[in-house]
């Protein structure tokens, strides 16, 4: 039935108009036209600017008639728009008084904060024409993707193995062999690889529209161009990065990304997005004005009393997340991605900022974080916080969780790194980490699923570099090696960087396997960094945010070269999937059967300051609260530089100890496939090699 109120009431030049619906914000295709709706509290007038696609050629400037102004919202339907050939933006007029948080400039054409697709950067790396007045232009999106029966997978969070991935880096290297390198479609072709590896969740580094040319420059040392490559600087929160789509030049990035999610879901793989709500790409008062600043500076940004930008993000500005308007935008955005793209969860970059009030003070009960936790549409999404910010707020263990939020556990990373390099005094901490960090997350009943365990992530060394470099090697970033973390808890195993010493090479592989073993037998949610499974290197650079080259690209030739590392990863991931006792959602002290602690002597863990040994036994009967009977598992860790004998606790009645993995052995004897574990002759004692981890199961 045709709606009786859906006809034009106004004309402007050749355009037919009527008052729009204020909700939803953004540009929405409606029968016969497009509904435009945009908020500004302080603008005195607003004009819709329509451009010819792929250019800044203006087709029309349609002022919103005063009767289309509802509260602080400008809303209008434009009929008969050829929506595939047109891009749009707004001019906002109003006062320019920075000290009051008003920076209107009607000369600028502004990107709609709710734009669902963006023109201006549709092909990755194509040098922009900076003389164009309108760099980022809104586009219209058909929201009728055929999902068939797909929905978010809702995998229990404790069963996830997360793989942190950069979309372009995964397949851009020529060795990837895919049809469309560096794109969403490229990932599609590598789904069989991901399945073989055994990950069931991709955490994609930022895919919201960003500008790879932000702060782009020539590296003074190498002459190479550097980019805003990782993309932690959002231009448009509702728009997928078109430059990551093989079909971006045909406007099909939305469908390409949705198809990727759909196909990953078909293969049991969830998708978590790394979202950056702490700042925008507009920077401080010296940065460009392309959207938020020109629409409502005071609403979107945290400003000092003098009208300057607070910089809790370290990137020039701070999004004013607990302003009610901005809070709604963040909610609308995540709901959109969850409902429209079937996204399974979100990881929030510098999430501590989300808990600051409008003048930057940390809130005890932050409305945004609470709203996200209780939102009906996000109810089944994973919510993961990077629980710190660049302004010094560090909330690992204390992030307001509302029973929902998990955290990147930075302490897990630091403690495991120190332990495997053989530092003193770590045994007590490691006992906490392998249980899912009850010292951090036990006090408010959060449980091990609050802890995303990781040893490496995009920030910092790769796992191979962690065992190959004592010092960061960031000269290629063009900042005189001053950027990036200097305290990495890394150890090069005897030589800095590449070496031909077979003993060092062997030890490095062993250390990689030690790290992975501890990660995968720990309670909590393990996350591995793309490329670590083939011992990928960034040549000691621990901050490769700006490189569109093989420092970041996954080198697929390593799959052959380092096949033993891949095999170890694959089998260790399979082992975790096979054993629910590794994936509890309650701490062991809450269950009938306890985790027990051992050392070189059974039942006697050595917590003395110089101890480098720890073993533990997980009772199979306690798996998932006793609901999923499992084998009992025993793990022995030795970070001492000599082999040690470990007395074994008795295996449960009618079972005997079998070895699943032993990092001290040379491949292929270092690991087997789950189910083919090998009975050990001596059931009373094992030798744990120097710097080794052994995993036994009782069966």
Partner 1 sequence: MEIAITNVENASIVVIDGDIDSSTAPEVQRQILPIVAENRKIIIDMSKVDFMSSAGLRTMLLIHRNSAAKKCLVILAGVKAQIAGTMKATGFYAFFTIYNNVDEALAATRGEYHDGDRLLSNA
Which residues are at the interface with partner 1 (CB under 8 A)?
82-85, 142, 144, 146, 179-180, 183-185, 188, 245-247, 250-252, 255-256, 258-259, 262-263
Please state, in angstroms and rounded to a whole number, the distance separating the CA atoms of residues 492 and 507. 10
Nearer to partner 1, 86 or 350 (CB): 86
Minimum gap (Å) between residue 185 Cβ and partner 1: 4
Please state, in angstroms and rounded to a whole number, the distance separating the CA atoms of residues 634 and 651. 9
Range list of β-strands (E), 300-456: 345-348, 382-385, 406-408, 451-454
- For residue 235, the surrounding DSSP H or E stretch is strand 234-240
Sequence-ordered list of residues with C-beta below 8 angstroms from that of 451, at least 6 positions apart, any chain: 406, 407, 409, 412, 436, 437, 440, 441, 523, 524, 525
How crowded is residue 179: how many other Cβ atoms within 10 Å of its Cβ? 12
Minimum gap (Å) between residue 181 Cβ and partner 1: 12
Contact 354, 395 (CB under 8 A): no
Query: Is 485 part of the annotated catalytic residue set?
Result: no
Q: Which of 270, 332, 386, 407 is catalytic?
A: 386
Nearer to partner 1, 255 or 344 (CB): 255
Minimum gap (Å) between residue 430 Cβ and partner 1: 45
Nearer to partner 1, 240 or 448 (CB): 240
Minimum gap (Å) between residue 590 Cβ and partner 1: 44
Please state, in angstroms and rounded to a whole number, the distance separating the CA atoms of residues 352 and 374. 18
How crowded is residue 585: how many other Cβ atoms within 10 Å of its Cβ? 18
Nearer to partner 1, 250 or 374 (CB): 250
Nearer to partner 1, 245 or 635 (CB): 245
Nearer to partner 1, 183 or 632 (CB): 183
Minimum gap (Å) between residue 24 Cβ and partner 1: 20
DSSP alpha helix (H) spans, 150-218: 167-171, 184-189, 191-197
Minimum gap (Å) between residue 196 Cβ and partner 1: 21
Contact 427, 613 (CB under 8 A): yes
Nearer to partner 1, 259 or 537 (CB): 259
How far, in Å, are 235, 567, 626, 680 from residue 698 at the CA level? 54, 23, 17, 11
Q: What's phi and psi for 69, nearest 5 deg?
A: -105, 105
Please state, in angstroms and rounded to a whole number, the distance separating the CA atoms of residues 579 and 566. 20
Minimum gap (Å) between residue 155 Cβ and partner 1: 22
636: three-class secondary structure by DSSP? strand
Query: Is 57 part of the annotated catalytic residue set?
Result: no
- For residue 430, the surrounding DSSP H or E stretch is helix 427-434
Please state, in angstroms and rounded to a whole number, the distance separating the CA atoms of residues 259 and 268. 14
Q: Which of 274, 297, 349, 532 is catalytic?
A: 349
- The residues that are catalytic are 349, 386
């Amino acid at each position: 039935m045709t709606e009786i109120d859906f006809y034009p009431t106004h004309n402007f030049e050749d355009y037919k108009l009527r008052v729009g619906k204020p909700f939803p914000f953004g540009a929405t295709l409606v029968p016969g036209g497009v509904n435009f709706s945009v908020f500004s509290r302080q603008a005195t007038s607003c004009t819709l600017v329509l451009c010819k696609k792929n250019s800044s050629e203006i087709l029309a400037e349609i002022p919103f008639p005063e009767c289309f102004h509802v509260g602080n919202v400008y809303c209008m339907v434009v009929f008969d728009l050829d929506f595939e050939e047109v891009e749009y933006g707004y001019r906002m007029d109003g006062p320019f008084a920075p000290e009051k948080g008003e920076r209107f400039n009607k000369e600028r054409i502004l990107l709609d904060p709710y734009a669902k697709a963006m023109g201006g950067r549709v092909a990755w790396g194509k040098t922009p024409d900076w003389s164009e007045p309108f760099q980022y232009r809104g586009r219209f999106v058909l929201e009728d993707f055929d999902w068939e029966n797909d929905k978010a997978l809702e995998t229990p969070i404790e069963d996830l193995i997360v793989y942190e991935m950069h979309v372009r880096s995964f397949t851009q290297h020529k060795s990837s062999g895919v049809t469309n390198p560096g794109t969403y479609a490229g990932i599609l072709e590598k789904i069989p690889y991901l399945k073989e590896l055994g990950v069931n969740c991709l955490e994609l580094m930022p895919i919201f529209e960003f500008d790879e040319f932000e702060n782009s420059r020539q590296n003074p040392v190498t002459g190479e161009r550097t980019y805003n490559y990782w993309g932690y600087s959002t231009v448009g929160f509702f728009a997928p990065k078109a430059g990551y789509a093989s079909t971006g030049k045909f406007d099909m990035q939305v469908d390409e990304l949705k198809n990727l999610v759909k196909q990953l879901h078909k293969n049991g793989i969830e998708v978590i997005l790394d979202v950056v709500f702490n700042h925008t790409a507009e920077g401080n008062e010296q940065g460009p004005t392309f959207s938020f600043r020109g629409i409502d500076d005071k609403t979107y940004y945290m400003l000092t009393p003098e009208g300057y930008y607070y910089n809790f993000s370290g990137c020039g500005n701070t999004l004013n997340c607990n302003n009610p308007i901005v809070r709604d935008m963040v909610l609308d955005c995540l709901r959109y991605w969850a409902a429209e793209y079937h996204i399974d969860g979100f990881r929030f970059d510098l999430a501590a900022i989300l808990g600051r009030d409008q003048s930057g003070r940390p809130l005890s009960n932050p409305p945004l974080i609470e709203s996200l936790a209780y939102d009906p549409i996000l109810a089944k999404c994973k919510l993961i916080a990077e629980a710190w910010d660049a302004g010094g707020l560090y909330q690992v263990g204390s992030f307001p969780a509302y029973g929902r939020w998990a955290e990147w556990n930075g302490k897990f990373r630091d403690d495991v790194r120190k332990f495997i390099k053989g530092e003193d005094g770590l045994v007590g901490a490691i006992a906490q980490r392998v249980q899912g960090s009850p010292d951090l997350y036990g006090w408010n009943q959060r449980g091990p699923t609050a802890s995303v365990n990781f040893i490496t992530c995009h920030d910092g060394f790769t796992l191979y570099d962690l065992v190959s470099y004592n010092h960061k090697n960031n000269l290629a970033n063009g900042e005189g090696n001053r950027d990036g973390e200097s305290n990495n808890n890394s150890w090069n195993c005897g030589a800095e960087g590449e070496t031909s010493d077979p003993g060092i090479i062997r030890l490095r592989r062993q250390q990689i396997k030690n790290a992975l073993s501890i990660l995968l037998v720990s309670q909590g949610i393990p996350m591995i960094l793309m490329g670590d499974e083939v011992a990928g290197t960034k040549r000691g650079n621990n901050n490769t945010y700006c490189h569109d080259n093989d420092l970041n690209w996954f080198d697929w030739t390593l799959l052959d070269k380092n096949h033993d590392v891949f095999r170890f990863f694959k089998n260790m991931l399979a082992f975790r999937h096979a054993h629910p006792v590794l994936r509890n959602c309650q701490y062991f002290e809450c269950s009938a059967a306890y985790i027990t602690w051992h050392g070189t002597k059974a039942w006697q863990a050595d917590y003395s300051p110089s101890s480098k040994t720890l073993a533990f036994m997980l009772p199979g009967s306690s798996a998932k609260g006793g609901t999923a009977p499992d084998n009992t598992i025993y793990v022995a860790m030795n970070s001492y530089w000599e082999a040690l004998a470990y007395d074994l606790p008795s295996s449960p009645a009618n079972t005997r100890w079998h070895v699943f993995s032993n990092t001290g052995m040379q491949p292929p004897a270092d690991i087997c496939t789950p189910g083919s574990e090998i009975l050990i002759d001596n059931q009373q004692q094992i030798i744990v090699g120097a710097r080794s981890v052994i995993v036994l199961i009782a069966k």
